[in-house]
Amino acid sequence: MNFYAFCKFYLLFICTLLIYHVSTQATPTESIHYLQPGDTIENFAPGLRIFCHTAKSKYFIYLWRVLKMNLHTNLDNYDLYDGKSPSEVIEKHDVNQRSWKFNWFNTKKSKSFKINPLEDICLGIYTHPYIDHRYKISMELIKIDVTQVLTTIAGIILFWSAPKLSRNSLFYYLTGICLGVTFSLLILIWFAARLFSQGKTMYLIAGTGWLMSTWLARIVCDNVQMILMQYREYVIGYFLLSSLISFLICYRIGPVTNTRTKQIIQWFLQVSGMVMIYFSSYFREASIGLCILCILIYNFPTVMYHRSKNYWRKMFPKRQKLLTEDEYRIQTMIETSKALGGLQAYCSSPESNPWKIVMRLKDPVRFARFMEGESHLSEDETMQHDLEITKMIEECEYTEDEYEEND
C-alpha cells in the first residue's frame, strides 16, 4: 500500500467516525415525544430519545396525583437523563458523553419513574447502537397515590400525638430499639477500626473504605429480597440480638424524666410530622397549606373554643326531649338510688359528724337500719305506696272505658 492509498483510507476512516459521532450525538425533532396518560411509545432506533410531559393547571383535587413512566425492556445498559425541557436533557447528555466515565459495579437500574404532574418534565433515554436498543415506554396516571395519602395521615397523626409520645415509656423503648438496630452496623465498623488501628492494613481500609462501602450498599439494596430469602435465619438472629441489646441499654438508662428533654423530643416529632406532610405531595402549595392549618388548629386557644361552643349552643339550642311516664319512673328510681347511695357514703365518711346528724333525726333507729343496708321505707309506707299506685291504675282504666263508651 502506497502513501496515497494510506491517506485516502485514513481520511475515509475519520469521516466514518465523524458521521457516526454526529448521528449518535444529534437529537432530531423526531426523537422528542410528548406523552399523555395512557400513551405508549415503542422505540426501535439507537441514540437519545426524549419523552416529555406538559404540566397541567393546579387544583386542590390534584393533591395526591402522580404520573408514572414505565420502561419495558430487558436491558440494563442504558443512560437516563432528566430535566425541565428537552434542551436541558440534551445538554446533560452532551456533557456526559464528553466526560470520561467508568462504571465500577454494574447494578440494575429502575424501570419505573414517578413524575410530578404539576411541572414540565422530560426524561431522556440513551441506548448504545452496538446493543439491542428496542424498548417500550408508557405513561400511567395515578389519581390518588396510596403511599402519599398514608404519608400525609402519618404526618398529621405524628404531629398531634407528639405531646403524648414524648412522655410515653413504650414509645421510648420502641424508638431506642429501632435506633439500636439501625446504628449497630456503625458499632461493628468502629470495633473493626479498633482492631486494625495500626499497620498497613489500616491504610488499605482507609484507602478503599469509601469504595467498598458504596459497593456493599448498592449490592445490598439491589439484592435485599434475595438476602432475606437465602439468609433468613442470620437476618432474624441479627435483628433479635441487636434488639435485645438495645432494649437492655434503654432499660438500664430508663425513660426520659427531664421536662425540657421531653419538650425537645416533642418539637422534634412535630417537625418530623410537618416534613412528612410537606413531602407527601408534589403539590407543594397545598402541602404548606396543610402544615399551616395543622399548626393553627393545634395552637388555637381553648378559651376561644369554649366561647364559640357556648355561642353555638345559644344560637342553636338543643331540642329537649320530653320523657314518657315509664321513662320518668325509671329515671326517678335511678336518681333516688344514686342519692341514697351518696347519703350513705357521706354519713360513713370521716367528714360527717354522726352525733349532730342523730340529734336532727326524729327516728335515729330507722336511720341506723338504713345505714346498715335496710330499705329507707317502712312497711306501712311501702303498703301505702302500693295502694296509691293501684288506685291510680284503676282510675286510668275507668277513664279509658268511659272514653270508649262515649265514642
What pLDDT score was predicted for residue 190? 63
What pLDDT score was predicted for residue 154? 93
Q: Grid coordinates representing 355?
A: 352525733
Rounded CA-CA distance 172/246 in Å is: 11
Rounded CA-CA distance 357/50 in Å is: 96
- Average pLDDT value for residue range 178-195: 70
What pLDDT score was predicted for residue 303? 65
* Paired strand residues for 141: 67
What pLDDT score was predicted for residue 267? 92
Rounded CA-CA distance 165/163 in Å is: 6
- Is the per-residue pLDDT at 155 higher than 90? yes
What pLDDT score was predicted for residue 149? 92
- Is the per-residue pLDDT at 260 higher than 80? yes
- Is the per-residue pLDDT at 20 higher than 70? no
Quote the crossing angle between the two packed helices 200-222 and 169-195, to the nearest 10°.
140
- Average pLDDT value for residue range 315-327: 76
Rounded CA-CA distance 99/336 in Å is: 93
What pLDDT score was predicted for residue 152? 93
Rounded CA-CA distance 251/143 in Å is: 46
Cell 400525638 locates to: 161
At 28, the pLDDT band (50, 70, 90 cuts) reads very low
6 vs 270, higher pLDDT: 270
- Is the per-residue pLDDT at 62 higher than 90? no
- Is the per-residue pLDDT at 105 higher than 70? no
DSSP for residue 376: S
| Percent of residues, the chain, with pLDDT higher than 90 | 7
pTM for the model stands at 0.56
The average confidence (pLDDT) of the chain is 76
- Is the per-residue pLDDT at 388 higher than 60? yes
Rounded CA-CA distance 30/125 in Å is: 14
- Average pLDDT value for residue range 374-403: 69
What pLDDT score was predicted for residue 8? 57
Give the strand pairing for 47-53 and 32-34: parallel
Please tell me whether residue 129 adopts helix, strand or coil conformation.
Answer: coil
- Average pLDDT value for residue range 86-93: 86
Query: Is residue 205 within 8 Å of residue 196, measured between CB atoms?
Result: yes
What pLDDT score was predicted for residue 273? 92
What pLDDT score was predicted for residue 255? 83
354 vs 239, higher pLDDT: 239
* Paired strand residues for 40: 138
- Is the per-residue pLDDT at 393 higher than 80? no
At 278, the pLDDT band (50, 70, 90 cuts) reads very high
- Average pLDDT value for residue range 46-74: 84
Contacts with 52 (C-beta within 8 Å, 6 or more apart), sequence order:
32, 33, 34, 35, 85, 86, 120, 121, 122, 123
* Paired strand residues for 204: none
211 vs 45, higher pLDDT: 45
What pLDDT score was predicted for residue 371? 78
Give the strand pairing for 66-72 and 112-115: antiparallel
Q: Grid coordinates representing 266?
A: 416533642
Mean pLDDT is lowest, of 27-41, 64-78, 146-160, 240-254, for: 27-41
- Average pLDDT value for residue range 383-392: 76
Rounded CA-CA distance 249/245 in Å is: 6
Query: Is residue 116 within 8 Å of residue 18, measured between CB atoms?
Result: no
- Is the per-residue pLDDT at 22 higher than 50? no
Please, what's the largest Cα pairwise distance for the chain? 146
What pLDDT score was predicted for residue 212? 53
Q: Grid coordinates representing 395?
A: 282510675
What pLDDT score was predicted for residue 150? 93
Mean pLDDT is lowest, of 115-124, 204-213, 246-255, for: 204-213
- Is the per-residue pLDDT at 102 higher than 50? no
Mean pLDDT is lowest, of 27-36, 115-124, 383-392, for: 27-36
- Is the per-residue pLDDT at 344 higher than 70? yes
What pLDDT score was predicted for residue 335? 87
Cell 336511720 locates to: 367
